Structure 1
């Protein structure tokens, strides 16, 4: 009985053995393929994870490297801005100091040109004159004073004209370089200044004389005629000098 079973098994293997072996081989190959594919998939996932991690680290490193550059640029801008502001402040301070220096070296306030009293005030409207028996404006001050009284420059300036043949007598005009000019009339012939001379406020320019024709016989007698020009127009001296 055993021999028959063995014989049948042997004959079966002999006839079907090739297919069995082939089936086993296919199973082995399939198993190996499945294992290999799984391993490749795992390796691919690990590789992709590694690449993603590396890219993330690279991006973080790049961002870290950029921050100092930005800070450095900002620092340069702040430093440049501070330097510009400092330069502007320095220039402003220098300009202010220069202006103060100029202001302190040039007097811009008037002083009385002569000691005395106002005998006839400024009047743009015509007023009566005894000397000529006519009406006409008085575009300045007639300052009553003594003959020979010293006359002074009312403010710093430069002598523009010295005239000895006017209706108001011997006359000196001083340009004060600020749009204003002062006029001193009825002076004595012996004027102490010359055209082009630079004067300080209070410099003597002459003395009161009797050279006027238009006011030679006014009741108030000896006087200095003092006028102020602003541009080309006469203005009231009361705006600048108080008597």
Structure 2
């Protein structure tokens, strides 16, 4: 039997609202992504709703929580690509439940915790065992304001302003901040080296919260690209910084 490219590591209620979700790890067959290298990916999906439909209906709150990019329609993940393909494969029964052999086989691999979906949706014991099974992780959460302190051990607080960065640090998180061209960095920040190809996430692994202990600096990334999502995000941030309204820019959700 051919080795599957992914396995199920959790099926059960979301920690965010109790709805049934699934966590799938893919990339068991190594590939090389320009930015992430050969990292494993983990997908946090609703069990019974395709990702695009979930986003349109607002059901993605079960896996994304109150992430502002969910509301703004500025999430960088293309739901019609990898998340949808993983969901389809899951519904076809293509992914077995992870067993001890799979766990042993990924001991020398690195993992992106939440390639889509927020790690806060996953029960803490599941997340902890998954992180311990691999060599290193990267992870990001928008749920840092809530009682998710355990996530600081392996996730960065995703923030979009200096005020948010300061608040997240006060709550015990390291931060990953998105900035616009020309914005200044704080004294404890540096540019993400993956943006100009100096490193891949796979060999950098700085975005792992306090997994390695100690006080470390915090990466930032300059918003880049020209997609409609990037243009919308830039406009929202400009209006937000000017303390002006931007509801007219937000996507409409179906009921």
Same fold at TM > 0.5: no
User: Normalized per residue, which structure has more helix?
Assistant: 1
TM-score (norm 2): 0.18
**Larger of the two Rg values belongs to structure:** 1
Please give the TM-score of this superposition, normalised by the length of structure 1. 0.18
- Bigger proportion of residues as strand: 1
Q: Comparing both chains, which one has the higher relative contact order based on Cα–Cα distances under 8 Å and sequence gaps of 6 or more? A: 2
